[in-house]
């Protein structure tokens, strides 16, 4: 069956079995994935897969199932399993009927869009990044590249029908220099025009070359310049915990703070899936509501939580079109730019630290925002406005909201970030944050 036929068939079966709400999404992913290490391409895989996600409500009881067997028998079996699972789950405190369409979607977001995603092109891009890293001073490289064209079909019992094209290009390259020296860079984009594998390779190589002979850093509070990969990790936490699901569960440091100043006045954070050039753009959310642009932070003030229909019902408001059938979530995030260069931010620090990457961000307390994260790859000591040496063995141990309140400057250059540590595509500048708490780490 064709994807739209799968949607209609599953919808009909689930309604026949007694489901009051049904959402069926069928996604066709065509992609090429390349992995490389020691400057050599080691894995090339191609994927052409069609899968369906079936979500049902039996009263206030919910369940979802993913299925690859989209034949008549496989679909019938999956629908029965989804209904049986929902019938045996506890009733949810978060429930509202699905929104009723049909809806009109932005024509710009409905246009067919693709990226080159053949294996030969993917290998060429990987080799381009490797060559640029080596030319910039790296001794060796490793990383991955995924070129994907995704088509999503949606049908709901609310008389919603939708079709979305979601192309993407993702390159992650890590370059290595002498000893422990390394640098990491990315290039991610929703189209070929915004994809820069050579630029990412060059940046990773330059960082690896500059990071040679790292010395143990000194714990304490230091002014810090956080590169886009680090600041995106912090910002993505704001997007994640702006979800009303986590607020309702008591797991968000943003609980009770709507209308309050939670960040410095120069902080603007936009969730905008309506920008056709944005990585993560979509004409509709998982319930079929048309997406819309919204400010999460405006001059540092928390303006909204992110809602689906169920959380909006409980909070007495309207959906922000960020479903998530269970938990609302951002499609993509954009931090407003500053007005100086990243180099200018560094020049403003008498003594501080420049962190280019981090990983393993973990919370000590979700409700307060206390966390720690380990700087990874190139990290530098700044003295008198200049990078003077490479550092190692430090950990960031701070609080998300307190760091956002101490943002003193942002670069005018911004970069899309998405990788293992940052799941939500985030367009972010480099940030200058005062008095960041660094502790000792052996990692």
Which residue reads 């799968």 in tokens?
6
**What number of residues does the chain have?**
443
pLDDT of 366 higher than 60: yes
Which residue reads 């999956």 in tokens?
78
Which residue reads 């990290």 in tokens?
379
Mean per-residue pLDDT for 214-231? 97
Mean per-residue pLDDT for 240-261? 98
pLDDT of 1 higher than 90: no
pLDDT of 443 higher than 60: no
CATH architecture type of domain 3-208: 2-Layer Sandwich (3.30)
Coil, helix or strand for 301?
strand
> Could you tell me the two tokens for 187?
């290039």
- Closest alpha carbon to 276 in 186, 194, 338: 194
pLDDT of 442 higher than 80: no
Residues 6 or more apart whose Cβ sits within 8 Å of residue 301:
259, 260, 261, 262
Q: Where are the domains of the chain?
A: 3-208, 214-440
pTM of the model: 0.95
Q: What is the mean pLDDT of the chain?
A: 97
Q: 350 with 386: CB under 8 angstroms? A: no
What does the alpha-carbon distance between residue 385 and residue 378 come to, in Å, rounded to a whole number?
A: 18
Residues 6 or more apart whose Cβ sits within 8 Å of residue 306:
239, 242, 243, 244, 271, 296, 320, 322, 328, 329, 330
Mean per-residue pLDDT for 39-62? 97
What does the alpha-carbon distance between residue 173 and residue 208 come to, in Å, rounded to a whole number?
A: 11
Which residue reads 């190589």 in tokens?
205
Coil, helix or strand for 400?
helix
Mean per-residue pLDDT for 430-438? 98
Relative to beta strand 351-355, strand 269-271 is unpaired
> Could you tell me the two tokens for 10?
């599953």
pLDDT of 43 higher than 70: yes
pLDDT of 265 higher than 60: yes
What does the alpha-carbon distance between residue 271 and residue 426 come to, in Å, rounded to a whole number?
A: 9
pLDDT cut 90: percent of the chain above it: 99
For the stretch 267-321, pLDDT in tens is 999 999 999 989 999 999 999 999 999 999 999 999 999 999 999 999 999 999 9
Residues 6 or more apart whose Cβ sits within 8 Å of residue 193:
none
Mean per-residue pLDDT for 3-21? 97
What's residue 441's pLDDT? Answer: 85
Mean per-residue pLDDT for 198-203? 98
What's residue 185's pLDDT? Answer: 98
Q: 74 with 52: CB under 8 angstroms? A: no
Rg (CA), the chain: 23
Mean per-residue pLDDT for 158-162? 97
What does the alpha-carbon distance between residue 82 and residue 26 come to, in Å, rounded to a whole number?
A: 15
Q: Residue 309: enclosing H or E segment and its boundaries?
A: helix 309-315
The helix-helix angle for 72-87 and 3-16 (nearest 10°) equals 40
Q: 231 with 431: CB under 8 angstroms? A: yes
What does the alpha-carbon distance between residue 430 and residue 407 come to, in Å, rounded to a whole number?
A: 11
Q: 149 with 164: CB under 8 angstroms? A: no
Mean per-residue pLDDT for 221-227? 98
Mean per-residue pLDDT for 169-184? 97
Ranges assigned E (strand) in 218-299: 220-226, 269-271, 294-298
> Residue 232's pLDDT band (boundaries 50, 70, 90)?
very high
What does the alpha-carbon distance between residue 435 and residue 13 come to, in Å, rounded to a whole number?
A: 58
> Could you tell me the two tokens for 235?
């910002």
Give per-residue burial for 394-406: e unless 16+ CB within 10 Å, then b: bbbbbbbbbbbbb
- Closest alpha carbon to 67 in 30, 26, 29, 28: 26
pLDDT of 126 higher than 80: yes
For the stretch 316-365, pLDDT in tens is 999 999 999 999 999 999 999 999 999 999 999 999 999 999 999 999 99
């Amino acid at each position: 069956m064709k994807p739209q036929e799968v949607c209609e068939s599953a919808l009909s079966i689930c309604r026949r079995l007694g489901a009051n709400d049904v959402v069926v999404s069928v996604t066709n992913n065509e992609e090429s994935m390349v992995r490389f290490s020691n400057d050599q391409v080691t894995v090339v895989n191609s994927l052409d897969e069609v899968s369906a996600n079936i979500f049902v409500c039996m009263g206030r009881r919910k369940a979802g199932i993913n299925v690859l067997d989209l034949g008549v028998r496989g679909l019938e079996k999956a629908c029965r399993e989804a209904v049986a699972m929902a019938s045996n789950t506890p009733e949810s405190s978060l429930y509202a009927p699905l929104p009723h369409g049909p809806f009109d979607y932005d024509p710009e977001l409905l246009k067919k869009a693709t990226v080159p995603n053949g294996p030969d092109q993917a290998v060429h891009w990987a080799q381009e990044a490797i060559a640029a890293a080596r030319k910039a001073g790296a001794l060796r490289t490793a990383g991955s590249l995924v070129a994907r064209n995704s088509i999503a079909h949606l049908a709901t019992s609310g008389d919603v029908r939708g079709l979305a094209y979601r192309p993407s290009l993702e390159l992650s390259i890590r370059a290595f220099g002498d000893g422990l020296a390394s640098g990491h860079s990315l290039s991610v984009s929703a189209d070929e025009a915004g994809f820069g594998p050579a630029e990412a390779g060059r940046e990773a190589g330059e960082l690896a070359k500059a990071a040679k002979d790292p010395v143990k850093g000194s714990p304490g509070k230091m002014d810090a310049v956080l590169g886009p990969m680090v600041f995106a990790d912090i910002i993505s936490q704001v997007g994640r915990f702006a979800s009303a699901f986590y607020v309702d569960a008591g797991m968000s440091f943003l609980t009770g703070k709507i209308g309050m100043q939670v960040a410095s006045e120069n902080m603007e954070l936009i969730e905008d899936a309506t920008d056709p050039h944005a990585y993560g753009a979509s004409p509709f959310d998982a319930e079929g509501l048309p997406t819309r642009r919204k400010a999460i932070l405006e001059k540092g003030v928390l303006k909204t939580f992110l809602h689906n229909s169920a959380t909006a019902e409980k909070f007495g408001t309207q959906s922000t079109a960020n479903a998530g059938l269970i938990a609302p979530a951002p499609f993509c995030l954009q931090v407003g730019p500053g007005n100086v260069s990243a180099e200018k931010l560094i020049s403003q620090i008498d003594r501080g630290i420049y962190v280019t990457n981090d990983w393993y961000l973990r919370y000590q307390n979700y409700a307060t925002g206390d966390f720690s994260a380990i700087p990874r790859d190139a990290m530098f000591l700044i003295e008198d406005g200049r990078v003077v040496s490479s550092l190692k063995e430090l950990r960031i141990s701070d609080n998300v909201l307190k760091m956002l309140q101490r943002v003193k400057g942002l670069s005018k250059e911004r970069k899309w970030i998405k990788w293992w540590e940052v799941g939500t595509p985030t367009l972010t500048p480099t940030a200058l944050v005062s008095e960041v708490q660094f502790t000792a780490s052996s990692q």
